[in-house]
Chain A
Amino acid sequence: MTKVNYFLTEEQQMIVELTRQIAEEKIIPVRAELDETEEFPWGIMKDLAQADLFGLYIPEEYGGLGGGCFENCLAVEQLAYGCIAITTTFAASALGGYPILLFGTDEQKAKYLPDIAAGKRLVAFGLTEAEAGSDAAGIRTAAIDEGDHWVINGTKQWITSGGEAEIYTIIAMTDRSKGARGATAFIVEKGDEGFSFGKKERKMGLRASSTRELVFNDCRIPKDRILGRRGQGFIIAMRTLDLARPGIGAIGVGLAQAALDEAVRYARQRIQFGQPIISFQAIQHMLADMATQTEASRALVYAIAKTIDAGAKNFSKLSAMAKLFPTDIAMKVTTDAVQILGGYGYMKDYPVEKMMRDAKILQIYEGTNQIQRNVIGQALNKEYANKQ
C-alpha cells in the first residue's frame, strides 16, 4: 500500500530510520518499566547522544548537524512512537537550548552549544511558576542587578528535566513595573550558589520524565549570564516556544501512530462472534478516522515545519496550529485505541493504557490548547483587520 510521499531528502530519511530504530530497539523494551518506576532515562539519553541527535538543530560550527525545525520534528515523531516521556526529556533539551542558539552571544554559544550538541549536558527551560503559566506576565522570580553579578530569587515550577539537566535557561523579572516587558532571560548552571531543586512531581503520565521545581535563594550568577537584552525575556520565551511547538505536534503524531498501530493489530486478531473485530463496521470506522486524522496531523506538522525552516517571519499562528491539531488528535486516537482494545486496553499489560495517560499532557504543556486557540484567533483578527 502506498504511503504518503513527503519527499524527504536522503539525510531526512536517515534521521527517520535511526530514530525509529532507537524507538524499537532501545525505548519500547523499557518504556513500561520506566513508567512504573519513574526512573530518569539516562541510558537512552546516552544512546541519543551517541547517535548525534542532541546536535540535530545546532549549527555544524558548534558540533551539531545544522538541521531545522523539520528535522527535529522527524526525530521526535519517531522517538514518540516509542515513548513520549522519554521523547519529552530529549525535546526539553532543545527547548532549553533554543534561547542560547537564538539570542546567545558568540561567547555563550561557544561555551554551551558544543556540550549540548554532544549530549554531554542536558538543558532545561524554566518559564512556568505557581502563578504564571499561560500568563507569563505573572512571573514572580526576580533578578536584581548587583553590579558585577545578578542575584535571583524565586521558584520555577514543573520544569522538565529539573535536577537532571546541568544548564537552565530561565525567565526572571528585572522590572516588575513593566509587566511582560520587564522580563529577562538568564543562563543558570547546576551548582551555582543559591540554586537548588524542589520536590519531584508525581504525575498521571509522562512519568519517566523528571518534573521538578527550581529554587533560587539569593542565587548569584555572573553578569555575563544574561541572555539577550534586559527586558527581552518575554520575546525570547515566545520565539523559543514558537520554534518548539511544531515539535510537540510531531510528538502527538508519533504517539497517535503508535496507538493506531496497536489498535489495528489488536482488531485483526481479536475474535468475537466468530470473526476478527476489524470486520465490524463500527470498529472499521473508528480505525478509519484514527488513520485519517493521524495522517492529516503529520501533513500539517511537516508543512508548517518546512515553512518555518524556509525563513518565515511571524509564524506564531502556524506554530500554534502545528501544536493544537496533532495533540488534540493524539488524545482522541489514544482514547479510541483504548476503546477498541476494550478491557485489555484499560490494563497495564497493553501499551495503549500508558499512551492515553501520556497523551493528556500534550494538550497542556508548552501552552495549553486553549492558549493555542487564542494565538490563532488573535492572529486571525489581525490578519483580517489588515485586509480591510
Chain B
Amino acid sequence: MNIVVCIKQVPDARTVKFDQEKGTLVREGVESVINPFDYNAIEAALELRDAFGGQVSAVTMGPPQAQEAIREALSLGVDKGVVVSDRAFAGSDTLATTYTLAKAIEKLGAPDIVICGKQAIDGDTGQVGPGLAVRLGIPYVTCVNEMEILKGRNVLRLKRMCEQGYDIVEVETPLLMTVLATLNTPRVPSLKNKMRARKADIPLWDVSAIGAEPGRTGLAGSPTQVVSTSVPTFDAKKEMLEGEPEEQVDALVTRLKEAGVI
C-alpha cells in the first residue's frame, strides 16, 4: 500500500516571539519543529503500513532546511521523504499549496492513503488536507480521532469528530484523512532509523521536477493576499471589590447586570 503523509515545519511554539509593532512573528533564533498534529499523522501512517504492508512517504513543502523535518520523520520509521522546494513556491496560500503538494504526490505514484494533521499551528487554516483530496480526486475524512482497519476489504472505519458529536464512517481506499492529537500516541524514534535518517539522501523537488505550471504556484498562484496582520488588543477592565463576601456578591451582581451579562 502506498501511504503518503504530509508534514509541515513550523516555528517552535515554546520559543516563538511576536513583534508587537510590526505585527509579525520573530523567526530569528526560533527553532523549527514538525507541526504537532503531523506527528499523529506519521504515527497513523506507520500503523497502517504495519497492518497493510507497503511503504510510507513523507512530503513537505518548504525551504531546504525542511529536510530536517523529513529526517525526523525517517527516524520515526517513515520509508522515504521529499522536500518540495523552490523560490517560486514562496507566498503560497492554501490553493497554491494544495496544487503543489498534489503535483508532488502524483509524482510519487498514485497514493492509497494520504494523511495530514488537522491543521498547522502557524497558519491554522485546516484547508490543505481537504483541498489536497479534491485535487487528487479522492474522498476525505477530517478530524479523525479513532481508526479501525478492516483489512480484507482495504476499508478504514474512522471516527470523525464534529462540533455536536461524532460520525463513524467507512471509507474504501484511496482516501485522505486529517487527524487529531487524540488519535494516537506518537512513537519515539528508533536507533536504527535515526542512523538511517542521518545518512539518507533527501531530494529537493523544484517547479520543473514536479511539472507544475509556474503561474499556479507561490504568490502568483495565490488569490489570498495577506494585507496586514495585527495583534488583538486586550482591554478588559479590572476592579477589586471590597467588603464582606455578601457585599462583594451584591456588588458583583450589580456590575454584571449593568454590563448586560445577566
Which A residues lie within 8 Å of B191 (CB)?
Answer: 14-15, 18, 51-53, 56, 65
Q: How far is the CA of A65 from the CA of B192 in the complex (A)?
A: 8
Q: Which residue of A lies closest to B77 (CB)?
A: A50
Report the minimal beta-carbon distance from B22 to chain A, rounded to whole angstroms.
33
Which A residues lie within 8 Å of B261 (CB)?
Answer: none
Q: Which of B181-195 contact A (CB under 8 A)?
A: 187-192, 194-195
Which A residues lie within 8 Å of B157 (CB)?
Answer: none
Report the minimal beta-carbon distance from A23 to chain B, rounded to whole angstroms.
10
Task: Tally B residues with Cβ within 8 Å of A.
Answer: 9
Contact: B195 with A11, CB < 8 Å? yes
Which A residues lie within 8 Å of B188 (CB)?
Answer: 18, 21-22, 25-26, 47, 50-51
Tell me if B198 is interfacial: C-beta within 8 Å of chain A: yes
Report the minimal beta-carbon distance from B75 to chain A, rounded to whole angstroms.
9
Q: Which of A92-142 contact B (CB under 8 A)?
A: none
Q: How far is the CA of A11 from the CA of B194 in the complex (A)?
A: 9
Q: Which of A10, A11, A25, A52 has the most CB of B within 10 A?
A: A52
Report the minimal beta-carbon distance from A17 to chain B, rounded to whole angstroms.
8
- 0 or 1 for each of B196-236: is its CB under 8 Å from A? (1 = yes): 00100000000000000000000000000000000000000
Q: How far is the CA of A18 from the CA of B195 in the complex (A)?
A: 11
Contact: B192 with A50, CB < 8 Å? no
Contact: B192 with A18, CB < 8 Å? no
Q: Which of B28-63 contact A (CB under 8 A)?
A: none
Which A residues lie within 8 Å of B187 (CB)?
Answer: 47, 50
- 0 or 1 for each of A1-41: is its CB under 8 Å from B? (1 = yes): 00000000011001100100110011000000000000000
Which B residues lie within 8 Å of A14 (CB)?
Answer: 191, 194-195, 198
Q: Which of A224-247 contact B (CB under 8 A)?
A: none
Contact: B189 with A10, CB < 8 Å? no
Contact: B189 with A18, CB < 8 Å? yes
Q: Which residue of B lies closest to A14 (CB)?
A: B194
Which B residues lie within 8 Å of A18 (CB)?
Answer: 188-189, 191, 194
Report the minimal beta-carbon distance from A55 to chain B, rounded to whole angstroms.
8
Q: Which residue of A lies closest to B189 (CB)?
A: A18
Contact: A51 with B189, CB < 8 Å? yes
Which A residues lie within 8 Å of B192 (CB)?
Answer: 52, 65
Report the minimal beta-carbon distance from A81 to chain B, rounded to whole angstroms.
15
Q: Which of B187, B188, B192, B198 has the most CB of A within 10 A?
A: B188
Question: Which B residues fall within an 8 A CB radius of A?
Answer: 187-192, 194-195, 198
10 pairs, CB–CB < 8 Å, chain A vs chain B? A10-B198, A11-B195, A14-B191, A18-B191, A25-B188, A47-B188, A50-B188, A50-B190, A51-B189, A51-B190
Closest 10 CB pairs of A and B: A52-B191, A52-B190, A51-B190, A14-B194, A52-B192, A51-B188, A22-B188, A50-B187, A47-B188, A18-B189
